[in-house]
């Protein structure tokens, strides 16, 4: 995984910058591994059961965020919050029908397997491990009203025409009972800011969503329920999650 990450960075930023980032990753990981070997555990990852003192840092070109990703499954805070919400509140194990999972996250593989009644279809724009269908979210190869659940997190940020993508998600979702569970990276700005290009330094994002995101969902023909992780402060500390906001939507 680290090799494919490095190759992509070389492609996007050139050899010297990518090699410097790789060195920061390697040094940071060695430090975290030493901390976890020497100090008592205080964190737990619900996605894979890992326990330890400190998570791996998240290294991007130009900045580092400390103690972010699980050494066992690479989960970030939002994956851990999603996992707990899907298991404890949404009761994913009791759901049935077809679930379309966009850009499937390795950290959530186990929670999808825990839902025997759901037929999981994992979709991505390009070939990746575990993907069932290669497809463009703006033009999906699925019949209308075919999905009981659509899972789509931090995907629209990178899509060229997000309104067209939302129209496609609405088309494939079952009326009345189908849930679209969605989130994007949201800034504190009131309005979404379009970049006009794919910003490689921001994971290829084409826009920074603002507080108008829920309005965009409603304009696309969805009722919108704002959800947060529902965790206690003690749980948040134990699982290293912040307040994660996401949306459960149905067709109107």
Nearer to Zn ion, 45 or 150 (CB): 45
Nearer to Zn ion, 73 or 81 (CB): 73
Closest contact distance (angstroms) between CB of 95 and Zn ion is: 23
- Positions in the binding site for Zn ion (CB under 5 A): 45, 47-48, 50, 70, 72-73, 75
- The conformation of residue 212, written as its DSSP 8-state character, comes to T
Nearer to Zn ion, 137 or 240 (CB): 240
Nearer to Zn ion, 73 or 149 (CB): 73
Closest contact distance (angstroms) between CB of 80 and Zn ion is: 8
Closest contact distance (angstroms) between CB of 248 and Zn ion is: 24
Nearer to Zn ion, 72 or 210 (CB): 72
Closest contact distance (angstroms) between CB of 68 and Zn ion is: 12
* Contact (CB, 8 A) for 26 and 2: no
Closest contact distance (angstroms) between CB of 110 and Zn ion is: 9
C-alpha to C-alpha distances, 108 to 40, 78, 87, 120, 218, nearest whole angstrom = 26, 11, 11, 12, 27
C-alpha to C-alpha distances, 38 to 52, 54, 239, nearest whole angstrom = 10, 11, 20
C-alpha to C-alpha distances, 7 to 15, 19, 110, 127, 134, nearest whole angstrom = 9, 10, 28, 16, 22
Which residue reads 């890992």 in tokens? 50
């Amino acid at each position: 995984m680290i090799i494919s990450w490095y190759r992509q960075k070389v492609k996007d930023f050139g050899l010297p910058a990518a090699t410097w980032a790789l060195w920061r990753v390697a040094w940071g990981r060695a430090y975290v591994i030493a901390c976890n070997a020497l100090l008592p555990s205080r964190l737990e990852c619900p996605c894979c059961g890992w326990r330890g003192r400190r998570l791996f840092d998240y290294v991007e070109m130009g900045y580092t965020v400390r103690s972010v990703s699980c050494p066992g499954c690479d989960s970030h805070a939002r994956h851990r919050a999603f996992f707990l919400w899907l298991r404890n509140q949404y009761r994913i194990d009791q759901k049935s029908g077809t679930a379309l999972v966009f850009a499937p996250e390795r950290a959530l593989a186990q929670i999808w397997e825990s839902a025997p009644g759901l037929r999981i279809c994992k979709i991505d724009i390009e070939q990746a491990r575990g993907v069932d269908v290669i497809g463009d979210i703006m033009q999906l190869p699925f019949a209308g009203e075919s999905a009981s659940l659509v899972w789509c997190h931090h995907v629209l940020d990178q899509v060229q025409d997000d309104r067209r993508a939302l129209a496609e998600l609405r088309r494939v979702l079952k009326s009345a009972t189908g849930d679209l569970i969605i989130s994007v990276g949201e800034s504190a700005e009131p309005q979404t800011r379009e970049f006009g290009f794919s910003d490689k330094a921001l994971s290829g994002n084409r826009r920074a969503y603002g507080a108008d995101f829920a309005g965009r969902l409603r304009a696309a023909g969805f009722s919108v329920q704002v959800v947060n992780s529902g965790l206690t402060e003690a749980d948040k500390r134990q699982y290293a999650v912040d307040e994660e906001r996401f949306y459960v939507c149905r067709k109107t």
